[in-house]
Amino acid sequence: MIDRILSKDVPARNLSTPRGEERGNGKPVLGTAQAISRVDEEHTTYDGDQQDLEERRALRRTAGLSTELEDVTEVEYRQLRLERVVLAGLWSEGTLADAENSLRELAALAETAGSEVLDGLVQRRDKPDPGTFLGSGKAQELKDIVMSTGADTVIVDAELAPSQRRGLEDIVKVKVIDRTALILDIFAQHAKSREGKAQVELAQLEYLLPRLRGWGESMSRQAGGQVGGAAAGMGSRGPGETKIELDRRRIRTRMAKLRREIAAMKPARETKRANRRRNAVPSVAIAGYTNAGKSSLLNRLTDAGVLVENALFATLDPTVRKAETADGLGYTLADTVGFVRSLPTQLVEAFRSTLEEVADADLILHVVDASHPDPEGQIAAVRKVFSEVDARKIPEIIVLNKADAADPFVVERLKQREPRHVVVSARTGQGIAELLRVISESIPRPSVKMELLIPYNRGDLISKLHDSDAEIISLDHVEAGTRAVVMVREGLAAELEPFAAND
């Protein structure tokens, strides 16, 4: 049986409308990622200090005449509209609530990619139909929904086999993309650095390679390696097809070149990490589910000025900032790419160098949206990726964010489940002082105490003590030089041994 869980789209809820109020015929107001949640859920997508940046405006497509695009012609301006989509999911395990939560997340992903969610359905079925995913009868019902809503795209909440996508397209007569293609599309829009763009293109080509047959006809795309325009739609951004005859040999050649380029960029990132390790600076990685508030937390902790946007996968390239404990011990904070359920394997592999910021950290701040309907599911999804990048052995602190909007009973449940936790709100500042204290207690500290006499002509060593995470207990200037009592790590202790005070 198919349960219709989304009503026909109407204009988005005004931000000033109190929670629980609805318009029109009493159906929930849709049009934003939050509005797709049930009215009685207190999940919030606001994670503090939202700001719209000019570079994001160039990617955003907005319905009607309220578009924020400023670099289009009058004709393009009037033709501009969101891609209209219908969602389809399969309930084969877990509860109906789990299936609905997954479809709501798919709606949020679709809106982040630049689409207007019109309707959605979930089918109860033990396993997907090998030919059309939903089965021919239910696929016909999906076709009726597509025709009645005027949708131009169907997004399926799973990864489709090439034959399933073609079979479903033959019935619904509009473009069909799956969850993996949707996530890849979002990554293609948000990649900014040269390495990030290369990683996304590699992931898209790996996805495209086994799906060449018939892909060109359904996509009709001509992106040519750049982010597609508004008319291209989801699944068409990124590498693109320069012609329908694009063959496997050419794709493999391009993939090999991209792998070489990514490998060539890796030493620069490793050099930066090596410098931090050489200077014995502890590293703290901020990781978690997408849109959990990681960038807001980094801004709150360091005033880094990092992009904060109510959008999934707004952060792709890791941002590293310096911070200090209350007693002056230096460490780095790294904001990383957000995770999501069923994160495509291609992306885990392509972004492995980026995810190494997590694997190489001394401490992980696992940020959780405590106001989300399924925080436990998000925690499990993130830890699955931790395992894939060999980061499960690293000490982890669960940071329950958005506490100001979360259900107190849910927060208490999570606190009982996760003994190592801190409850915070990046928006209000609640719990930040406690989090800083826990970070200070959790990062590795210097363990070798030394009494040094450093000649005045070796000011570089004094600078090194200040630049590294050495704890300077005392500094006294005497006739022979600077007498210092410090706590340092073993590597630095060996370098300073010749300057140990003998008296």
Binding-site entries for Mg(2+): 295, 315
**What pLDDT score does 29 carry?**
34
Show the tokens assigned to 111.
């809106």
If we measure between CA atoms, which residue out of 230, 178, 186 comes closest to residue 208? 178
pLDDT-derived band at 56, boundaries 50, 70, 90? very low
Show the tokens assigned to 112.
């982040």
Range among 115-119, 216-220, 487-491 with highest mean pLDDT value: 115-119
Tokens 């107190």 sit at which residue? 408
Angstrom distance (rounded) from CA 359 to CA 63: 41
Angstrom distance (rounded) from CA 76 to CA 63: 13
**What pLDDT score does 494 carry?**
82
Binding-site entries: 288-295, 313-317, 335-338, 401-404, 425-427
**What pLDDT score does 434 carry?**
95
**What pLDDT score does 213 carry?**
62
Mean pLDDT (the chain) is 75
Name the residue with higher pLDDT: 211 or 81: 211
Angstrom distance (rounded) from CA 305 to CA 295: 9
What tens digit of pLDDT does each residue of 281-340 get? Answer: 788 999 888 888 888 888 888 865 444 444 455 444 567 788 888 877 778 888 876 777
What is each CA distance from 168 to 82, 126, 358, in whole angstroms?
22, 18, 39
pLDDT (mean) for 409-425: 95
Tokens 């395990």 sit at which residue? 93
Range among 49-63, 289-303, 367-381, 460-474 with highest mean pLDDT value: 367-381
Angstrom distance (rounded) from CA 482 to CA 195: 45
**What pLDDT score does 468 carry?**
66
DSSP string spanning 189-238? HH--SHHHHHHHHHHHHHHHGGG-TTHHHHH----TTS---TTT-TT-SS
For residue 155, report the phi and psi dihedrals to the nearest 5 degrees.
Answer: -115, 125
pTM above 0.85, yes or no: no
What tens digit of pLDDT does each residue of 88-114 get? Answer: 998 888 788 888 888 888 888 888 888
**What pLDDT score does 98 carry?**
82
**What pLDDT score does 371 carry?**
92
pLDDT-derived band at 466, boundaries 50, 70, 90? confident
**What pLDDT score does 137 carry?**
85
Whether 437 has a pLDDT exceeding 80, the answer reads: yes
| 499 exposure class (CB count in 10 Å sphere: 0-12, 13-18, 19+) | middle
Name the residue with higher pLDDT: 200 or 442: 442
Binding-site entries for GTP: 288-295, 313-317, 335-338, 401-404, 425-427
**What pLDDT score does 410 carry?**
95
Q: Where are the alpha helices (DSSP H) in 223-351?
A: 248-278, 294-302, 345-350
Whether 13 has a pLDDT exceeding 80, the answer reads: no
Tokens 């450093």 sit at which residue? 454
Q: What residue type is 361 in one-letter code?
A: A
User: How many C-beta neighbours within 10 Å does residue 471 have?
Assistant: 17
Angstrom distance (rounded) from CA 169 to CA 150: 15
pLDDT-derived band at 191, boundaries 50, 70, 90? confident
pLDDT (mean) for 186-210: 82
